[in-house]
Amino acid sequence: MAKDMDNVNLEEEEELELFEHFSFVVDKGQTLTRIDKFLTDKVANATRNKVQQAIDAGNVLVNGKPTKSNYKIKPLDEIKVFLEKPPRDTEVVPEPIPLDIVYEDDHLLVVNKPAGMVVHPAHGNWTGTLVNGLVYYFNQLPTLPGNTGRPGLVHRIDKDTSGLLVIAKSELAMTELANQFFHHHIDRTYLALVWGEPKEEEGTIVAHVGRSAKDRKVMDAYPDGSQGKHAVTHWKVLKKLRYVSLVQCNLETGRTHQIRAHMKFLGHPLFNDAMYGGDKIRKGTQFSKYKSFVQNCFDLIPRQALHAMSLGFTHPVSKQKLYFEAPLPVDFASVLQKWEEYVTFEK
């Protein structure tokens, strides 16, 4: 019997939102059948070609091991599948939105997304998204199968987070990149300005991330693993500025709001992160001059201070290791400079 394991509706940062997990235990009376035919019949909206591509990418496991398209399933085989979801029916309107393209070839492109831009259309944001711009851009290229409505989207970042995203331009690239995300082979580095100075210089947060029972828009950390999904964030302090710190975060997993929830759990919410309590003074004096300074900083960066600085992965076709960096945007860099000047002046 089929069971949809992780078909969840996540918000921004979960790279698996556009893909589904399925788990099958083959019936005792099942006759020997090629696995690609079996899955084509079992999984809704799955073509044989799409199933075969998932198998070739190592996204179909039989009894815990990758399989081949010609494998014949046996009774009680345990099959796990990682498949791209079908596109939603709503048409995405192409819009001539400027895109900051860092890299592009025949198979993929890397985009530096500005803060304030939603990645794809959803309730309340049907236009002006990165995908609207990509559809317009891709309409000037040959139509690629599987990209209708969401051209090559493999992962996402929050609306108010700036930084790098990789976009696939073919089904092969999408499948291969999705496989790298699935197996945590993508290197992602974020820069965050957080409240306070962590006691340690670096560390690793291992705590499930799941929706808060009090507010479904907010994610909470569950270190006991009682709720949510396994999540791991490696962090390191780059600069201590007395009341705030510049922290580097490397994602091992990519859950919704993972860094924001994990840093709050650590006791150091992101600067001006309204959803996680960072839009209030969490560290410092009560003097009016200091309060005014912090408010000026809030005005300079009216969003959470989080930037997807670097992205590293293996090219889906050439197998070459690629690495990209995006400098801090003006708002983040300006606030960081202000804090540096403030603590220097105070000494």
Active site residues: 158
The two structure tokens encoding residue 75: 């009774």
- Find, among 13, 15, 57, the residue nearest to 314 by Cα: 57
The two structure tokens encoding residue 288: 């009016």
Check: CB of residue 23 under 8 Å from CB of residue 78: yes
Q: Work out the burial of residue 295: count CB atoms within 10 Å of its CB; fewer than 13 is exposed, 13-18 middle, 19 or more buried.
A: exposed
| DSSP E strand stretches across the chain | 2-4, 19-25, 33-34, 60-62, 65-66, 72-73, 78-84, 101-104, 108-113, 162-168, 187-195, 202-206, 208-211, 219-222, 232-241, 244-251, 306-314, 321-325
Q: Pairing state of beta strands 60-62 and 78-84?
A: antiparallel
For residue 96, give the amino acid letter.
P
